[in-house]
Structure 1
Amino acid sequence: MTKIKLADKAVELIKEICAQFDNKETELINVLHQTQHKLGYLPAEVQELIAKELNMSVAKVYGVVTFYSFFTMLPQGQHPISICMGTACYVRGAEKVLHEFKRQLGIEVGQTSVDGRFSLSCLRCVGACGLAPVVLVGEKVYGRVSPQQVGKIIGEYQEDCNSVQTA
Protein backbone atom coordinates (compact mmCIF):
# COMPACT_ATOMS: atom_id res chain seq x y z
CA MET A 1 0.00 0.00 0.00
CA THR A 2 1.30 3.45 -0.93
CA LYS A 3 2.05 5.74 1.98
CA ILE A 4 0.63 9.23 1.89
CA LYS A 5 2.29 12.31 3.31
CA LEU A 6 -0.01 14.24 5.58
CA ALA A 7 -0.34 17.92 4.80
CA ASP A 8 1.04 20.24 7.47
CA LYS A 9 -2.51 21.52 8.12
CA ALA A 10 -3.74 17.97 8.74
CA VAL A 11 -0.85 17.27 11.13
CA GLU A 12 -1.63 20.43 13.11
CA LEU A 13 -5.35 19.61 13.15
CA ILE A 14 -4.71 16.11 14.50
CA LYS A 15 -2.35 17.47 17.16
CA GLU A 16 -4.98 20.04 18.18
CA ILE A 17 -7.66 17.36 18.45
CA CYS A 18 -5.39 15.19 20.61
CA ALA A 19 -4.58 18.19 22.80
CA GLN A 20 -8.31 18.95 23.24
CA PHE A 21 -8.53 15.57 24.94
CA ASP A 22 -5.34 16.18 26.97
CA ASN A 23 -3.43 13.61 24.88
CA LYS A 24 -4.97 10.88 27.06
CA GLU A 25 -4.97 7.30 25.83
CA THR A 26 -8.39 6.85 27.45
CA GLU A 27 -9.80 9.42 25.00
CA LEU A 28 -8.78 7.43 21.91
CA ILE A 29 -12.32 6.88 20.60
CA ASN A 30 -13.16 10.57 21.01
CA VAL A 31 -9.94 11.55 19.22
CA LEU A 32 -10.65 9.11 16.38
CA HIS A 33 -14.24 10.30 16.08
CA GLN A 34 -13.25 13.99 15.90
CA THR A 35 -10.39 13.30 13.50
CA GLN A 36 -12.58 11.28 11.14
CA HIS A 37 -15.25 13.99 11.33
CA LYS A 38 -12.69 16.59 10.21
CA LEU A 39 -10.66 14.54 7.70
CA GLY A 40 -13.31 12.10 6.47
CA TYR A 41 -11.32 8.94 7.14
CA LEU A 42 -8.44 7.47 9.16
CA PRO A 43 -5.60 6.22 6.93
CA ALA A 44 -2.55 4.52 8.47
CA GLU A 45 -0.55 7.77 8.58
CA VAL A 46 -3.26 9.46 10.66
CA GLN A 47 -3.39 6.47 13.01
CA GLU A 48 0.40 6.60 13.43
CA LEU A 49 0.31 10.29 14.37
CA ILE A 50 -2.55 9.75 16.83
CA ALA A 51 -0.65 6.86 18.43
CA LYS A 52 2.42 9.07 18.80
CA GLU A 53 0.41 11.98 20.27
CA LEU A 54 -1.43 9.72 22.74
CA ASN A 55 1.76 7.81 23.59
CA MET A 56 0.35 4.41 22.66
CA SER A 57 1.01 1.68 20.13
CA VAL A 58 -0.14 1.96 16.54
CA ALA A 59 -1.48 -1.60 16.89
CA LYS A 60 -3.90 -0.48 19.61
CA VAL A 61 -5.15 2.45 17.51
CA TYR A 62 -5.52 0.17 14.48
CA GLY A 63 -7.37 -2.38 16.62
CA VAL A 64 -9.95 0.21 17.67
CA VAL A 65 -10.33 1.59 14.13
CA THR A 66 -10.93 -1.86 12.67
CA PHE A 67 -13.17 -3.06 15.53
CA TYR A 68 -15.77 -0.31 15.27
CA SER A 69 -17.64 -0.24 11.96
CA PHE A 70 -18.17 3.53 12.27
CA PHE A 71 -14.49 4.17 11.55
CA THR A 72 -13.10 3.91 8.04
CA MET A 73 -9.61 3.83 6.60
CA LEU A 74 -10.82 4.61 3.09
CA PRO A 75 -11.97 7.98 1.74
CA GLN A 76 -15.74 8.28 1.73
CA GLY A 77 -18.04 9.92 -0.76
CA GLN A 78 -19.50 13.35 -0.17
CA HIS A 79 -22.64 11.53 1.03
CA PRO A 80 -21.71 8.26 2.78
CA ILE A 81 -24.64 5.82 2.81
CA SER A 82 -24.76 3.14 5.50
CA ILE A 83 -27.32 0.34 5.62
CA CYS A 84 -27.98 -1.25 9.01
CA MET A 85 -27.72 -5.03 8.84
CA GLY A 86 -28.55 -5.71 12.48
CA THR A 87 -31.05 -8.47 13.18
CA ALA A 88 -34.20 -6.32 13.19
CA CYS A 89 -33.20 -4.46 10.03
CA TYR A 90 -32.15 -7.63 8.26
CA VAL A 91 -35.40 -9.43 9.12
CA ARG A 92 -37.40 -6.43 7.86
CA GLY A 93 -35.72 -6.29 4.46
CA ALA A 94 -32.42 -4.43 4.76
CA GLU A 95 -30.80 -6.81 2.26
CA LYS A 96 -33.31 -5.77 -0.43
CA VAL A 97 -32.74 -2.10 0.40
CA LEU A 98 -28.97 -2.61 0.13
CA HIS A 99 -29.38 -4.38 -3.22
CA GLU A 100 -31.38 -1.43 -4.54
CA PHE A 101 -28.75 1.10 -3.43
CA LYS A 102 -26.06 -1.01 -5.12
CA ARG A 103 -28.13 -1.24 -8.30
CA GLN A 104 -28.98 2.46 -8.51
CA LEU A 105 -25.51 3.73 -7.57
CA GLY A 106 -23.64 1.12 -9.61
CA ILE A 107 -21.24 0.39 -6.73
CA GLU A 108 -20.62 -2.38 -4.24
CA VAL A 109 -20.28 -2.16 -0.45
CA GLY A 110 -16.99 -0.45 0.38
CA GLN A 111 -16.86 1.49 -2.88
CA THR A 112 -17.33 5.15 -3.76
CA SER A 113 -19.13 6.33 -6.90
CA VAL A 114 -16.92 7.58 -9.72
CA ASP A 115 -18.14 11.16 -9.21
CA GLY A 116 -17.22 10.97 -5.51
CA ARG A 117 -20.74 11.80 -4.37
CA PHE A 118 -21.73 8.52 -2.72
CA SER A 119 -20.05 5.69 -0.85
CA LEU A 120 -21.79 2.58 0.42
CA SER A 121 -21.25 0.59 3.60
CA CYS A 122 -23.07 -1.70 6.01
CA LEU A 123 -23.33 -1.32 9.77
CA ARG A 124 -23.97 -3.98 12.39
CA CYS A 125 -26.57 -2.00 14.36
CA VAL A 126 -27.43 1.66 14.78
CA GLY A 127 -29.69 1.11 17.80
CA ALA A 128 -32.90 2.22 16.09
CA CYS A 129 -34.50 -1.21 15.78
CA GLY A 130 -38.03 0.19 16.03
CA LEU A 131 -37.40 2.01 12.73
CA ALA A 132 -36.04 -1.02 10.88
CA PRO A 133 -34.78 -1.16 8.23
CA VAL A 134 -32.60 1.89 8.84
CA VAL A 135 -30.39 3.80 6.40
CA LEU A 136 -27.95 6.56 7.34
CA VAL A 137 -26.85 9.17 4.83
CA GLY A 138 -24.13 11.05 6.62
CA GLU A 139 -25.70 11.61 10.01
CA LYS A 140 -29.32 11.73 8.76
CA VAL A 141 -31.39 8.68 9.73
CA TYR A 142 -34.03 7.21 7.45
CA GLY A 143 -36.38 4.70 9.06
CA ARG A 144 -38.65 2.00 7.67
CA VAL A 145 -36.93 2.26 4.29
CA SER A 146 -38.25 0.15 1.44
CA PRO A 147 -36.48 -0.55 -1.86
CA GLN A 148 -39.02 1.75 -3.54
CA GLN A 149 -37.77 4.73 -1.46
CA VAL A 150 -34.11 4.35 -2.44
CA GLY A 151 -34.35 6.48 -5.60
CA LYS A 152 -36.01 9.31 -3.68
CA ILE A 153 -33.31 9.23 -0.99
CA ILE A 154 -30.51 9.31 -3.57
CA GLY A 155 -32.35 12.09 -5.43
CA GLU A 156 -32.33 14.34 -2.36
CA TYR A 157 -28.54 14.33 -2.38
CA GLN A 158 -28.13 14.58 -6.14
CA GLU A 159 -30.20 17.76 -6.05
CA ASP A 160 -27.96 18.97 -3.21
CA CYS A 161 -24.87 18.38 -5.35
CA ASN A 162 -26.40 20.02 -8.44
CA SER A 163 -27.43 23.16 -6.55
CA VAL A 164 -23.95 23.50 -5.07
CA GLN A 165 -22.34 23.18 -8.51
CA THR A 166 -24.58 25.82 -10.09
CA ALA A 167 -24.33 28.30 -7.22
Structure 2
Amino acid sequence: METSIPPPKRLKMLDATIKRHQYQQDALIEILHRASELFGYLELDLLLYIAHSLKLPPSRVYGVATFYHLFSLAPKGVHNCVVCIGTACYVKGAQVILTCLEKSIQIRAGETTPDGQISLTTARCLGACGIAPAVVFDGTVLGHQNPELVSERIQGWLQNGTN
Protein backbone atom coordinates (compact mmCIF):
# COMPACT_ATOMS: atom_id res chain seq x y z
CA MET A 1 0.00 0.00 0.00
CA GLU A 2 1.31 3.43 -0.89
CA THR A 3 0.85 4.97 2.56
CA SER A 4 2.93 8.05 1.80
CA ILE A 5 0.33 9.27 -0.68
CA PRO A 6 -2.69 10.96 0.96
CA PRO A 7 -6.14 9.44 0.18
CA PRO A 8 -7.39 12.37 -1.98
CA LYS A 9 -4.34 12.06 -4.23
CA ARG A 10 -4.83 8.29 -4.45
CA LEU A 11 -8.43 8.89 -5.52
CA LYS A 12 -7.20 11.28 -8.25
CA MET A 13 -4.76 8.61 -9.42
CA LEU A 14 -7.63 6.10 -9.55
CA ASP A 15 -9.73 8.60 -11.51
CA ALA A 16 -6.87 8.93 -14.00
CA THR A 17 -6.86 5.16 -14.45
CA ILE A 18 -10.64 5.10 -14.98
CA LYS A 19 -10.35 7.94 -17.50
CA ARG A 20 -7.44 6.20 -19.29
CA HIS A 21 -9.73 3.19 -19.74
CA GLN A 22 -12.41 5.58 -21.07
CA TYR A 23 -14.93 4.58 -18.37
CA GLN A 24 -15.26 1.19 -20.11
CA GLN A 25 -17.09 -1.36 -18.00
CA ASP A 26 -14.94 -4.18 -19.38
CA ALA A 27 -11.89 -2.57 -17.74
CA LEU A 28 -13.31 -3.35 -14.28
CA ILE A 29 -10.60 -5.86 -13.30
CA GLU A 30 -7.78 -3.50 -14.30
CA ILE A 31 -9.42 -0.66 -12.37
CA LEU A 32 -9.94 -2.84 -9.28
CA HIS A 33 -6.30 -3.91 -9.50
CA ARG A 34 -5.14 -0.29 -9.58
CA ALA A 35 -7.45 0.62 -6.69
CA SER A 36 -6.03 -2.28 -4.70
CA GLU A 37 -2.47 -1.10 -5.43
CA LEU A 38 -3.30 2.45 -4.37
CA PHE A 39 -5.35 1.75 -1.24
CA GLY A 40 -4.05 -1.66 -0.16
CA TYR A 41 -7.52 -3.18 -0.10
CA LEU A 42 -10.96 -2.58 -1.56
CA GLU A 43 -13.25 -1.17 1.09
CA LEU A 44 -16.98 -0.96 0.38
CA ASP A 45 -16.99 2.81 -0.25
CA LEU A 46 -14.25 2.39 -2.84
CA LEU A 47 -16.21 -0.37 -4.61
CA LEU A 48 -19.28 1.88 -4.68
CA TYR A 49 -17.19 4.73 -6.09
CA ILE A 50 -15.90 2.48 -8.88
CA ALA A 51 -19.41 1.17 -9.60
CA HIS A 52 -20.74 4.71 -9.87
CA SER A 53 -17.83 5.83 -12.07
CA LEU A 54 -18.32 2.94 -14.51
CA LYS A 55 -22.14 3.03 -14.30
CA LEU A 56 -22.20 -0.57 -13.09
CA PRO A 57 -24.44 -2.16 -10.47
CA PRO A 58 -22.56 -2.34 -7.14
CA SER A 59 -23.38 -6.06 -7.00
CA ARG A 60 -21.34 -6.68 -10.15
CA VAL A 61 -18.31 -4.78 -8.84
CA TYR A 62 -18.57 -6.56 -5.48
CA GLY A 63 -18.97 -9.91 -7.23
CA VAL A 64 -15.80 -9.43 -9.27
CA ALA A 65 -13.86 -8.14 -6.24
CA THR A 66 -14.83 -11.17 -4.16
CA PHE A 67 -14.33 -13.73 -6.93
CA TYR A 68 -10.61 -13.16 -7.41
CA HIS A 69 -8.40 -14.08 -4.46
CA LEU A 70 -5.90 -11.32 -5.29
CA PHE A 71 -8.42 -8.70 -4.18
CA SER A 72 -9.00 -8.10 -0.48
CA LEU A 73 -11.94 -6.31 1.11
CA ALA A 74 -10.06 -5.78 4.38
CA PRO A 75 -6.56 -4.60 5.26
CA LYS A 76 -3.98 -7.33 4.78
CA GLY A 77 -1.44 -8.38 7.35
CA VAL A 78 2.30 -7.83 7.21
CA HIS A 79 2.55 -11.47 6.06
CA ASN A 80 0.18 -13.30 3.75
CA CYS A 81 -0.42 -17.05 3.67
CA VAL A 82 -2.55 -18.52 0.86
CA VAL A 83 -3.54 -22.18 1.04
CA CYS A 84 -4.53 -23.73 -2.29
CA ILE A 85 -7.73 -25.73 -1.96
CA GLY A 86 -7.95 -26.84 -5.57
CA THR A 87 -8.71 -30.50 -6.25
CA ALA A 88 -5.12 -31.82 -6.31
CA CYS A 89 -4.14 -29.88 -3.17
CA TYR A 90 -7.35 -30.81 -1.39
CA VAL A 91 -6.86 -34.51 -2.11
CA LYS A 92 -3.29 -34.31 -0.81
CA GLY A 93 -4.22 -32.65 2.50
CA ALA A 94 -4.84 -28.93 1.99
CA GLN A 95 -7.89 -28.97 4.27
CA VAL A 96 -5.85 -30.46 7.12
CA ILE A 97 -3.21 -27.74 6.60
CA LEU A 98 -5.88 -25.02 6.60
CA THR A 99 -7.59 -26.37 9.74
CA CYS A 100 -4.27 -26.55 11.60
CA LEU A 101 -3.40 -22.99 10.57
CA GLU A 102 -6.78 -21.67 11.67
CA LYS A 103 -6.33 -23.30 15.08
CA SER A 104 -2.72 -22.20 15.55
CA ILE A 105 -3.18 -18.52 14.66
CA GLN A 106 -6.82 -18.39 15.84
CA ILE A 107 -8.33 -16.87 12.71
CA ARG A 108 -10.36 -18.28 9.87
CA ALA A 109 -9.54 -18.14 6.17
CA GLY A 110 -10.21 -14.63 4.88
CA GLU A 111 -9.19 -12.96 8.13
CA THR A 112 -6.16 -11.16 9.52
CA THR A 113 -4.77 -11.64 13.02
CA PRO A 114 -5.79 -8.88 15.47
CA ASP A 115 -2.17 -7.64 15.61
CA GLY A 116 -2.16 -7.21 11.82
CA GLN A 117 0.75 -9.63 11.35
CA ILE A 118 -0.77 -12.48 9.32
CA SER A 119 -3.56 -12.75 6.74
CA LEU A 120 -4.84 -16.21 5.91
CA THR A 121 -6.61 -16.79 2.61
CA THR A 122 -7.44 -19.62 0.24
CA ALA A 123 -7.22 -19.93 -3.53
CA ARG A 124 -9.36 -22.13 -5.72
CA CYS A 125 -6.27 -23.22 -7.67
CA LEU A 126 -2.73 -21.92 -7.92
CA GLY A 127 -1.90 -23.99 -10.99
CA ALA A 128 0.81 -25.82 -9.06
CA CYS A 129 -0.94 -29.18 -9.01
CA GLY A 130 2.28 -31.13 -9.59
CA ILE A 131 3.64 -30.00 -6.21
CA ALA A 132 0.39 -30.35 -4.26
CA PRO A 133 -0.41 -29.39 -1.61
CA ALA A 134 0.84 -25.89 -2.33
CA VAL A 135 0.93 -22.88 -0.02
CA VAL A 136 1.98 -19.32 -0.86
CA PHE A 137 4.01 -17.49 1.79
CA ASP A 138 4.37 -13.77 1.06
CA GLY A 139 4.21 -14.41 -2.69
CA THR A 140 6.49 -17.47 -2.72
CA VAL A 141 4.84 -20.75 -3.75
CA LEU A 142 6.05 -23.79 -1.81
CA GLY A 143 4.92 -27.29 -2.67
CA HIS A 144 4.66 -30.62 -0.88
CA GLN A 145 3.56 -28.84 2.28
CA ASN A 146 2.19 -30.43 5.44
CA PRO A 147 0.82 -28.97 8.69
CA GLU A 148 4.23 -29.15 10.42
CA LEU A 149 6.12 -27.29 7.65
CA VAL A 150 3.45 -24.62 7.38
CA SER A 151 3.20 -24.20 11.15
CA GLU A 152 6.98 -23.85 11.38
CA ARG A 153 6.96 -21.06 8.78
CA ILE A 154 4.09 -19.23 10.51
CA GLN A 155 5.76 -19.54 13.92
CA GLY A 156 8.89 -18.01 12.39
CA TRP A 157 6.84 -15.03 11.28
CA LEU A 158 5.33 -14.66 14.75
CA GLN A 159 8.66 -14.95 16.56
CA ASN A 160 10.55 -12.59 14.28
CA GLY A 161 7.82 -9.98 13.94
CA THR A 162 8.57 -9.04 10.32
CA ASN A 163 10.59 -12.07 9.13
**Range of TM-score over shorter length:** 0.7 to 0.9
- 2: CA distance between counterparts of 1:105 and 1:151? 9
What's the Cα RMSD here? 2.3
Counterpart check, 1:161 vs 2:162: yes
Instruction: Deviation per CA, 1:69-111: give whole Å up to 9, x if none.
Output: 4322222212222111111000011112112222321222222
Q: Which runs of 4+ in 1 moved over 6 A?
A: none
In structure 2, the partner of 1:111 is: 111
- Kindly state the Cα deviation for residue 115 of structure 1 after the two structures are TM-superposed: 1.1
CA distance 1:98–1:65, change in 2 (3 Å) = same
- 1: CA distance between counterparts of 2:143 and 2:44? 34
The one-letter code of the counterpart of 1:105 is I
Structure 1 counterpart SS, 2:80: strand
CA distance 1:140–1:37, change in 2 (3 Å) = farther
**1:14-163 alignment, distance < 5 Å:** 14-158=14-158, 159=160, 161=162
Instruction: Deviation per CA, 1:48-78: give whole Å up to 9, x if none.
Output: 1112332333232122123334322222212
- 1: CA distance between counterparts of 2:145 and 2:17? 36
- 2: CA distance between counterparts of 1:117 and 1:33? 23
CA distance 1:16–1:138, change in 2 (3 Å) = farther
Instruction: Deviation per CA, 1:23-46: give whole Å up to 9, x if none.
Output: 321111111122223322212111
- Kindly state the Cα deviation for residue 145 of structure 1 after the two structures are TM-superposed: 1.0
Identity %: 34
- 2: CA distance between counterparts of 1:9 and 1:96? 44
Q: Give 5+ residue unaligned stretches, structure 2.
A: 1-5
- Kindly state the Cα deviation for residue 123 of structure 1 after the two structures are TM-superposed: 1.7
- 1: CA distance between counterparts of 2:78 and 2:70? 16
Contact 1:100–1:150 under 8 Å retained in 2:
no
TM-score normalised by L of structure 2: 0.82
Contact 2:77–2:117 under 8 Å retained in 1:
yes
